[in-house]
Amino acid sequence: MHFSEMFIPTLRESPAEAEAVSHILMLRAGYVRQLAAGLYIYLPLAWKVMERITNIIREEMGKIGAQEMCLPALQPREVWQKTGRWDDIGEEMFRLQDRGSSDLCLGMTHEEIVTWLASMEIRSYRDLPQVWYQIQTKFRDEARPKSGVLRTREFIMKDSYSFDRDERGLEENYQKHSDAYHRIFSRCGLAFYRVESDPGMMGGATAHEFMAPSPAGEDVIALCKKCGYAANIELAESVPAPQPPLSDAETWTREDVSTPEKRTVDEVSGFLHVSTLYIIKSLLLISKDGPFLALVRGDQELHEKKLMKIVGDFRTAEKDEVKDILGVEPGFIGPHDNELKKIADISLKEGIYISGANKKDFHTKGLRPSLHFKAEWHDIHVAQEGEGCPRCGSEITLQKAIEIGNIFRLGTKYSVPFKALYLDKKGKEVPIVMGSYGIGPARIAAAVIEQSNDKDGIIWPLSIAPFDVEIIPLNIGDRTISQTAEQFYNALKKENMDVLIDDRDERPGVKFKDADLIGIPLQLIVGGKNLKDGIVEIKYRSTKAITKVLIQEAVKKLKEMKNQLESD
């Protein structure tokens, strides 16, 4: 393409509304424009990147035998009612009515639709397995769109669905997808981890997410460098360091100490000059089975999602309820001397503690769990940096990350309500076993930018760059320069390279700046002085290293360099 004919509206300054690096650079380099909150226009450069990404996805999906199709974005209420999600999902779903007042929604995902299809068409075990996918727009009425294309209300997603006879088949397809995803993200030049994740609204058994580390990420993942344990903080386990023995710990006998007006862990810790590791945080919560206490160590935070998995939905008790149930106001409640059900974090299992005394302005010192109270023990704390890996014990680290893909074992969660059944070899009706697998191509692009940029702009990996090479004739007023540049353009096209030539009547500085901003991996610089010596320059965008080559060798050299970048 000729730069002068292509729509690449670069900006000198970053628009004020952008904060995330990828957002700033996509705006400045002329890749996207924002229409409204969470709605983006993908300009030609961005669309070329998206195309390259989706091509990689198509290739890899093809390799695992997945078949591309296209499902409607407009979907009738009835299918969503089959699974109950019409009511479960709430405000995140865009809903509308047609002229006949029938309820419809804009699809936020397509499990219902493919399962409906499968229920209509799949009859026999001979029809299975099937793997279907599409690359299509999804709609979600996000409470807070943010960070450019990272969280939008309308976005393109590759979603695939596997249909198997049994768990073994699902396992195979799950693994195939996992492997394909590894290849896709690697080919796109991303650093990423596969982590254990919470299935959330998708339901089903277990799931994994693919996470690209980046400060712009919304998720936090826990990683163990030693054994490879990797999990979303939503469910990451950890082993907090044990309480160190207090020099005078042995002398702590159980006694109530006066702690006037000291309610929070920090207040009590400061007042008694004791580390928060020796304090029990007691929270009175109400589940559908009634009130119970959740106990975590003073240095830990209660992980509500983990707790919810144990006791189901719960809420915190009101001030008055605490008084009614325990006879004391919040801040002085403790796990001893009452018969409430208790769920305690594993960090509390050993050691000696201080907790509320269940009487106002007093705390009890010298409490020993299991001696002074009974509890169910679970991991209900939020994992923290530096704590022990649940598998191997070595230190875990926490990182922010962008979710670029996910894979879910759905099992029969969708096939049962849809009666998506098949007849097995013995003629028995059996529900199809399903999996679902998503990738966000725009998130891949944004994550790559987040991970690969410098002060001058984007640094695309060759695999998903909008072009392979940008030719920069430094002065198109000079006929020798512009003609040489055009000759290179044609020669490189003949070699099947995707080339952008900056044929604008701009000064060299402007072209250099724009080229670095846009981030095409190779630059071919055609300038007057070098040309007189029969020389042009080739520059790597990533390192800015310049190679001078003879004009007649430049095409060959560029091909070599491209091949080199491809194999990196």
- 333 versus 515: smaller Cβ distance to RNA: 515
Name the segment binding RNA (CB under 7 A); options: 150-158, 254-262, 315-323, 349-357: 150-158
Residue in 5, 13, 250, 313 binding RNA, rule: CB under 7 A: 13
Q: Is 19 in the site for RNA (CB under 7 A)?
A: yes
The string of DSSP codes covering 418-458 is TT-EEE-TTS-EEEPEEEEEEE-HHHHHHHHHHHSEETTEE
338-377 positions binding RNA, by CB under 7 A = none
Residue in 200, 290, 312, 534 binding RNA, rule: CB under 7 A: 200
In whole angstroms, the minimum distance from the beta carbon of 366 to RNA comes to: 34
* Site track 119-138 with RNA (rule: CB under 7 A), x = hit: -------------------x
Q: Is 70 in the site for RNA (CB under 7 A)?
A: no
Residues 235 and 220: their CA atoms lie apart, in Å, by 11
Q: Is 508 in the site for RNA (CB under 7 A)?
A: yes
Residue in 273, 315, 425, 529 binding RNA, rule: CB under 7 A: 529
Residues 335 and 281: their CA atoms lie apart, in Å, by 9
The sign of the CA dihedral 169, 172, 176, 181 is: positive
Cα separation values, 375 from 5, 61, 317, 331, Å: 72, 49, 19, 20
Residues 469 and 321: their CA atoms lie apart, in Å, by 69
Q: Is 523 helix (H, G, I), strand (E, B) or coil?
A: strand
In whole angstroms, the minimum distance from the beta carbon of 97 to RNA comes to: 20
Q: Is 507 in the site for RNA (CB under 7 A)?
A: yes
The string of DSSP codes covering 456-521 is TEE---GGG-S-SEEEEES-TTSHHHHHHHHHHHHHHHHTT--EEE--SS--HHHHHHHHHHHT-S
Backbone angles phi, psi at 25, to 5 degrees: -70, -35
Name the segment binding RNA (CB under 7 A); options: 9-17, 251-259, 286-294, 344-352: 9-17
Name the segment binding RNA (CB under 7 A); options: 10-18, 166-174, 239-247, 417-425: 10-18
- 333 versus 380: smaller Cβ distance to RNA: 380
- 426 versus 455: smaller Cβ distance to RNA: 455
Q: What is the DSSP secondary structure assignment for residue 541, as one 8-state letter?
A: T
CA 402 from chain centre, in angstroms, equals: 4
**HSE, side-chain direction, 13 A CA sphere, residue 19:** 7
Q: Is 509 in the site for RNA (CB under 7 A)?
A: yes
379-438 positions binding RNA, by CB under 7 A = 403, 406, 438
Angle 441-451/21-28 helices, nearest 10 degrees?
Answer: 100
Residue spans of alpha helices (H) in 64-216: 77-82, 85-88, 111-121, 167-187
Residue in 30, 52, 110, 145 binding RNA, rule: CB under 7 A: 145
Residue in 2, 14, 81, 486 binding RNA, rule: CB under 7 A: 14
List the structure tokens of 469: 């090479």
- 184 versus 354: smaller Cβ distance to RNA: 184
Beta strand pairing call for 193-197 and 207-213: antiparallel
Name the segment binding RNA (CB under 7 A); options: 143-151, 236-244, 263-271, 295-303: 143-151
Q: Is 277 in the site for RNA (CB under 7 A)?
A: no
Backbone angles phi, psi at 447, to 5 degrees: -65, -40
In whole angstroms, the minimum distance from the beta carbon of 105 to RNA comes to: 14
Q: Is 440 in the site for RNA (CB under 7 A)?
A: yes
Non-local CB neighbours of 116 within 8 Å, separated by 6+ positions? 79, 82, 418
- 203 versus 388: smaller Cβ distance to RNA: 203
Residue in 41, 69, 201, 550 binding RNA, rule: CB under 7 A: 201
Q: Is 143 in the site for RNA (CB under 7 A)?
A: yes
Determine if residue 358 is left, alpha or beta; phi over 0 gives left, psi from -120 to 50 gives alpha, anything else beta.
left
Name the segment binding RNA (CB under 7 A); options: 198-206, 263-271, 352-360, 421-429: 198-206
Residue in 1, 3, 8, 20 binding RNA, rule: CB under 7 A: 20
Count of chain residues binding RNA (CB under 7 A): 66
Residues 9 and 461: their CA atoms lie apart, in Å, by 22
Residues 550 and 555: their CA atoms lie apart, in Å, by 10
In whole angstroms, the minimum distance from the beta carbon of 516 to RNA comes to: 4
Q: Enumerate binding residues for RNA (CB under 7 A).
A: 10-17, 19-20, 23, 28, 34, 36-38, 92, 108-109, 138, 140, 142-147, 151, 155, 157, 199-202, 218-219, 304, 403, 406, 438, 440, 456, 474-475, 477-478, 505, 507-510, 512-517, 525, 527-530, 537, 539, 544, 546
